[in-house]
Every structure is written in structure tokens, then in C-alpha cells.
Amino acid sequence: MLAKQPAMEWRPTCGSWFLRAESPLPGWAVKRCAEFMLKVQAGRRIGLMPGDTRDDLDASVKALHEGRIEQWAAGPQMDGSGEIEVFRATQGTGKIISLGA
């Protein structure tokens, strides 16, 4: 479960969303972020008059449905500095597990 919603930004020139997280997120977490953003965008669309702003918002919603989300692992300071964990090991039990070899 995600502790908090990572920052997401719509990049209309790229036609995709930009997701910034401390470390790379698994597919299920990216999907959850997209679902959350769909709700946010639905609320933003209420009351928008036809025009460029609403067209851009509709394009952002289409991108979310199509899964056009780019991840940026921003590190612990969320600025791209510091060590970024791509994989994290969990503490083991100390037991050796046979792989059948």
C-alpha cells in the first residue's frame, strides 16, 4: 500500500504523465496512482467550459486510460540526488533454501 500519493504532472507536449516517486514503483502502484488521478481530473472537469483547457484535460484523462505514465525515481530528497533504490532486499531468516539443484 502506498503511504501517500506520489506527485504526478501532466506533460501535454509529451502526451504523457510524469510520476515522481522516491524509488521505482511496481505496476500495481502505478495503476493505483492513475486511478486516483482519474478521480482528481473528473473533479477538475466539472464546470469547465468548452475550449483548450477542457480539451487538454480530456487528453490527460485519455493518457491515463492508455497507461501513458513515465516514472522518475527522485530519491529520498525527491530531487534526483542521493541513493535511489531500484531493488531492496528484505531481512532473511538465516535459513538456506534449496532450489532443487
Amino acid identity at 101 = A
pLDDT at site 17: 93
DSSP for 32-88, please give it. Answer: HHHHHHHHHHHHHHTTPPSSHHHHHHHHHHHHHHHT-EEEEE-TTTTSS-S---S--
pLDDT digits (tens, 9 = 90+) for 31-79: 999 999 999 999 999 989 999 999 999 999 999 999 999 988 766 555 5
* pLDDT score at 76: 58
Q: Are 58 and 46 in contact (CB under 8 A)?
A: no
pLDDT of residue 45: 93
